Amino acid sequence: MKRMPPIPVQALPRVEDRITFLYLDQCVVHRDKGAITARNSEGTTYIPAATLTVLMLGPGSTVSHHAMSLLAE
């Protein structure tokens, strides 16, 4: 899989503009370019990975390796 170039530091949101934490359960978490996607029976939600500080996964959550590698970057 081809890696995306790193995001310049100036383009990253300030800490006060970030989502402090996000709790997800009963969903499948994937990666779509620079975003994390959470899919369940109601649809798909796109979450910009650079805005997340903490992602908590509850019961019934499945996360892909590609999503975890994006969060680790």
Is 70 exposed, middle or buried, given 0-12, 13-18 or 19+ CB atoms closer than 10 A?
buried
Q: Which of 39, 63, 50 is nearest to 4 (CA)?
A: 50
Topology of the domain covering 9-72:
Ribosomal Protein L15; Chain: K; domain 2 (3.100.10)
Asked whether the predicted pLDDT for residue 1 surpasses 60, the reply is no
pTM reported for the whole predicted model: 0.71
Asked whether the predicted pLDDT for residue 57 surpasses 90, the reply is yes
DSSP characters over 9-43: GGGSPPGGGSEEEEEE-SSEEEEETTEEEEEETTE
pLDDT of res. 23: 94
Q: Which tokens hold the place of 33?
A: 């370019």
Q: Which of 73, 28, 29 is nearest to 50 (CA)?
A: 73
So where are the chain's domains?
Answer: 9-72
